[in-house]
Amino acid sequence: MKINLVAAAPADITVDALAVPIATGQRLSGAAVDLDRALGGLISELLGSGEFKGRIHEVMPVPTNGRIAARRLILYGLGAINDLDGQRLRSAHHELVRAARTYGYSRIGLMRVDPLSTDSLRAVVEGCVMGTFERRSRQTGSQPERGELDELILTGFGQGRDHEVVLAQEAGEATNRAREWQNAPGNELTPDALAQEASKIAKRHGLEIEVLGPSELRAGGYNLLLGVAAGSTQPPHMIRLRHRGRELAGKAADANAPVLALVGKGITFDTGGISLKEPPSMSQMKADMAGAAAVLAAIDVIAARKVPLDVMAVVATTENMVGPAAQRPGDVVVSADGKTVEILNTDAEGRLVLADALTHALRNGATHLLDLATLTGAATIAIGHGASAAVSNNDEFWLLVEEAARRAGDRVWRLPIFADYRVLLRSQIADLRNSEYGEAGAILGGMFIGEFARGKPWAHLDIAASSWNTNAELTTVLRGPSGAGTRLCIELAELMARTER
């Protein structure tokens, strides 16, 4: 899709449809008044009659009858201004583009009027790009429900901002790439296939890559990952990509320079193991690698931008299957960093593979750790699909993560780590137990992973609910795969690079 910034008056843009944002209860102002006048008062009539209310995701195409260059006008709603955060702003433009494609519009113009500001440019572009995503990529012989959007023309956002448009398009496309990986069936996106995707990224940017197979994992003592993998015929992998951004920027070697590790859970299919899941929800477990998808899509962009920070993406990937060699509830396993873990629930496998992944990141020089994982159903119960649940051991690092989330329009909500909770991780026969039935489930899952951070600044994002919305009531949260965390990771690397300067 081509995206162009122009200085032309909205009425003069020759497109299939010209999109005009309207917030609930908004009065026309600025360029919208001039456009309304050119249309003979059409917009003010539709608002005054209540036919268009400006509700979020409300989209209304109307004929222009040749009064302006665009063949159609699209009014699209932003909802209440007070509710318009970055996530809802992107969601509104996601749905605008999906609707435009349904109507067969291949070239649309979009004018900036209140409440959009010039600072909304990146959110608008990212949302529009995300609206080009489709989940039906494996259907054959059927007519597509929506056409392709070939060109997006933006007016009113100012000139000389083409680079910002490029950055926003990269972030939107990376989010869609993560969504596509999430949506891939488990028989296609195996651990080997995920490693191949990582290899493509490394080749594209000349990144350092390491892919550990079963023998290397055994040699490194990554027994938690191997234990989860034991029931599957698919070999597990520990994948590490390294972007040496400081070196590319010509910075002097510095042993104290930060190294950010983006660590993703890569369970390409999760049956729950012997602690088997309920069948109705199991088909969605192809997306249990959403954390891996986010960090791989993010480092692809980080490397393309040559962000002047050392960043690694670490992915622990395997299937969690039932088989004659599968680990059992009650087993005790020695982790890569030497802690012993009692396995009470084989369906609490994400924290196990991430524990070994954090150790691998630390062994390779990570100073700051952010892990992303579809970890717990408890996160859905706690805060629903509208945000990612989070815990962190470091307030300063958390502020960076929180700011990155705000800039990315990717909501996070930090949960507390109280000392009282540590007792719930204790085992009678090992250093830790991997599960506790009862209270604070999302917190405890994160705290378990944090036990392997070795005191380094660390944050954990539980994207179990935010990465795939199954709740039809939550219309402002993307349905199906969302690519949660992808843009956040990109923004975090950018923020840390600026801070490190």
Could you give the residue numbers annotated as active site?
277, 351
How far is C-alpha 333 from the geometric centre of its chain's CA atoms? 31
The verdict on whether omega for the bond into residue 115 sits within 30 degrees of 0, i.e. cis, is yes
Beta carbons of 20 and 100 less than 8 angstroms apart: no
What DSSP letter does each residue of 61-111 carry, written as one string?
A: EEE-TTSSSSSEEEEEEEE-GGG--HHHHHHHHHHHHHHHHHTT-SEEEEE
Distances (CA, A) of 380 to 107, 119, 217: 38, 32, 33
Beta carbons of 198 and 296 less than 8 angstroms apart: yes
Q: Please give the Cα distance from 181 to 283 (Å, whole number).
A: 15
Beta carbons of 269 and 288 less than 8 angstroms apart: yes
Q: Which segments within 246-362 are labelled E, that is strand?
A: 259-270, 310-320, 332-334, 340-342
Q: Please give the Cα distance from 178 to 430 (Å, whole number).
A: 37
* Beta bridge mates, 75: 20, 60
Q: Please give the Cα distance from 44 to 55 (Å, whole number).
A: 16
Question: What residues contact 400, with CB distance under 8 A and at least 6 apart?
Answer: 492, 495, 496, 499
Task: Give the CA count within 13 Å in the CB-facing half-sphere of 485.
Answer: 36
Helix (H) or strand (E) holding 360: helix 350-363
Q: Please give the Cα distance from 172 to 195 (Å, whole number).
A: 23
What's the helix, strand, coil split of the chain in %, to 5? 40, 20, 40
Closest of 313, 412, 314 to residue 354, by C-alpha: 314
Helix (H) or strand (E) holding 229: helix 223-229
**The 368-373 sheet, strands edge to edge:** 208-212, 237-244, 310-320, 259-270, 368-373, 458-462, 388-392, 412-414
How far is C-alpha 202 from the geometric centre of its chain's CA atoms? 20
